[in-house]
Amino acid sequence: MNGLEGLYLEDLEVGQSASYGKTVTETDIVMFAGMSGDTNPVHLNQEYAETTMFEGRIAHGMLSAGF
Protein backbone atom coordinates (compact mmCIF):
# COMPACT_ATOMS: atom_id res chain seq x y z
CA MET A 1 0.00 0.00 0.00
CA ASN A 2 1.44 3.42 -0.96
CA GLY A 3 -0.68 5.54 1.31
CA LEU A 4 -3.74 5.73 3.44
CA GLU A 5 -5.65 8.34 1.45
CA GLY A 6 -9.38 7.75 1.43
CA LEU A 7 -9.33 5.23 4.28
CA TYR A 8 -11.11 5.62 7.59
CA LEU A 9 -9.85 4.34 10.92
CA GLU A 10 -12.23 1.39 10.77
CA ASP A 11 -10.74 0.41 7.38
CA LEU A 12 -7.30 -0.20 8.90
CA GLU A 13 -6.12 -3.64 9.90
CA VAL A 14 -3.19 -4.85 11.98
CA GLY A 15 -0.21 -5.42 9.70
CA GLN A 16 -1.10 -2.83 7.07
CA SER A 17 1.62 -0.39 6.19
CA ALA A 18 2.06 2.74 4.15
CA SER A 19 5.05 4.63 2.85
CA TYR A 20 5.52 8.23 1.89
CA GLY A 21 8.31 10.09 0.12
CA LYS A 22 9.49 13.68 0.12
CA THR A 23 12.36 15.25 -1.76
CA VAL A 24 13.96 17.88 0.47
CA THR A 25 14.52 21.02 -1.59
CA GLU A 26 16.82 24.00 -1.25
CA THR A 27 13.77 26.03 -0.26
CA ASP A 28 12.91 23.55 2.52
CA ILE A 29 16.41 23.85 4.00
CA VAL A 30 16.64 27.64 3.73
CA MET A 31 13.15 28.15 5.17
CA PHE A 32 13.85 25.75 8.05
CA ALA A 33 17.17 27.49 8.79
CA GLY A 34 15.38 30.84 8.97
CA MET A 35 12.55 29.54 11.10
CA SER A 36 14.72 27.57 13.52
CA GLY A 37 17.69 29.93 13.64
CA ASP A 38 20.01 26.99 12.85
CA THR A 39 22.26 28.52 10.20
CA ASN A 40 25.11 26.05 10.65
CA PRO A 41 27.11 26.14 7.39
CA VAL A 42 26.94 22.34 7.07
CA HIS A 43 23.31 22.92 6.06
CA LEU A 44 23.77 26.03 3.92
CA ASN A 45 27.32 26.23 2.51
CA GLN A 46 28.38 23.54 0.03
CA GLU A 47 32.08 24.49 0.06
CA TYR A 48 32.25 24.30 3.84
CA ALA A 49 30.16 21.13 4.02
CA GLU A 50 32.53 19.35 1.62
CA THR A 51 35.31 19.72 4.21
CA THR A 52 33.29 17.91 6.89
CA MET A 53 32.81 14.21 7.54
CA PHE A 54 29.53 14.46 5.58
CA GLU A 55 31.38 15.52 2.39
CA GLY A 56 28.43 17.72 1.41
CA ARG A 57 25.43 19.60 2.69
CA ILE A 58 22.95 17.83 4.93
CA ALA A 59 19.40 18.66 5.90
CA HIS A 60 18.61 19.60 9.49
CA GLY A 61 17.79 16.54 11.59
CA MET A 62 14.58 18.07 12.90
CA LEU A 63 13.54 19.03 9.37
CA SER A 64 13.68 15.40 8.30
CA ALA A 65 11.98 14.30 11.53
CA GLY A 66 9.04 16.53 10.62
CA PHE A 67 8.19 14.56 7.51
Residue 17, pLDDT score: 85
User: Where do the H-state alpha helices sit in 1-67?
Assistant: 26-36, 41-44, 46-49, 61-65
3-state secondary structure of 62: helix
> What digits encode the pLDDT tens for the residues 33-63?
999 999 999 999 999 999 999 999 999 999 9
Task: Domain ranges for the chain, please list them.
Answer: 25-67
In this prediction, residue 1 carries a pLDDT of 45
Q: Give the residue, 28 or 67, on which the prediction is more confident.
A: 28
pLDDT band at 5 (very low <50, low <70, confident <90, very high): confident
pLDDT tens for 8-33 read 889 889 998 888 888 999 999 999 99
Q: Which of 23, 15, 17 is nearest to 3 (CA)?
A: 17
